[in-house]
Amino acid sequence: MLFTFLLLVFLGLLVYSIIKDSEEIGIFSLFMIIVMLVFVLTSTGLNYLHQINDITELNVIENRKEVYEERAEEITFKLKSVVREYVEHEEGIFENLSSLDVQLYAVKYPEIKSNKLYSEYSERLNNLYNSIYRLRQDEITLTRNIERRKRYHIHVFTPIIPRE
C-alpha cells in the first residue's frame, strides 16, 4: 500500500516536472521510480525463489513422512511378534493394537522389557515417531511461510509468485 502511494507521488512529481519544465524534480522523480522498481523486482524475485524452495521442501517432507510411517508399521509388526511370545493367551487382540498399545504391554508384563529385540524395536519406533513429529512441525512452518508470502508481500508482479 505504501509502495503504491509513493510510486504515485513520484509519478505525479514526474508529470509536474514535465508540465512546469523543472528538470531537477523530474530527474529526482525518475531516479526514485527506477529505485523503487528495482527494489520491487528484486523483492519479487527473491520471494519467488523462496516460494519455489519451500514448495519443493514441502514435497520432500511429505515423501519422508510416508517412508517413516511405512517403517513404523513394519517395526510395529515386529514389535507385536515379540510381545506375542509373552502373552499367547491374548492372541486375538494384536491385530487391532497400535504401536503405543503394544508398548504398553511392557508395563503389564515387565519381563518383556528385558527382551533385546523389544528394546531395539521400541527405541527405533520412538525415534521414527520423533522424526515424524519434527517433519510435521517443519511442514507447518513451511505452509505458514507459503501462505504469508501469497497474502502479505508487496508484489507488483503478484501472478508470478507460485501458489501451490
Could you read off the pLDDT of 8-52 as tens digits, one per residue? 777 777 777 777 777 776 677 777 777 777 877 787 778 788 888
d(CA 103, CA 105): 5
Q: Please report the pLDDT score of residue 66 as a whole number.
A: 94
Neighbours of 34 (CB within 10 A): 11
Amino acid found at 116:
K
The answer to whether 68 and 128 are in contact (CB under 8 A) is yes
pLDDT tens, position by position, 40-85: 778 777 878 888 899 999 999 999 999 999 998 898 888 888 777 7
Q: Please report the pLDDT score of residue 93 as a whole number.
A: 67
Q: Please report the pLDDT score of residue 141 as a whole number.
A: 94
> At 163, is the pLDDT very low, low, confident or very high (cuts 50, 70, 90)?
low
Q: Which residue has the cell 508482479?
A: 157
Calculate the CA 88 to chain-centre distance.
44
The residue ranking higher by pLDDT, 23 or 148, is 148
Q: What is the pTM of this model?
A: 0.65
> At 5, is the pLDDT very low, low, confident or very high (cuts 50, 70, 90)?
low
The residue ranking higher by pLDDT, 109 or 123, is 123
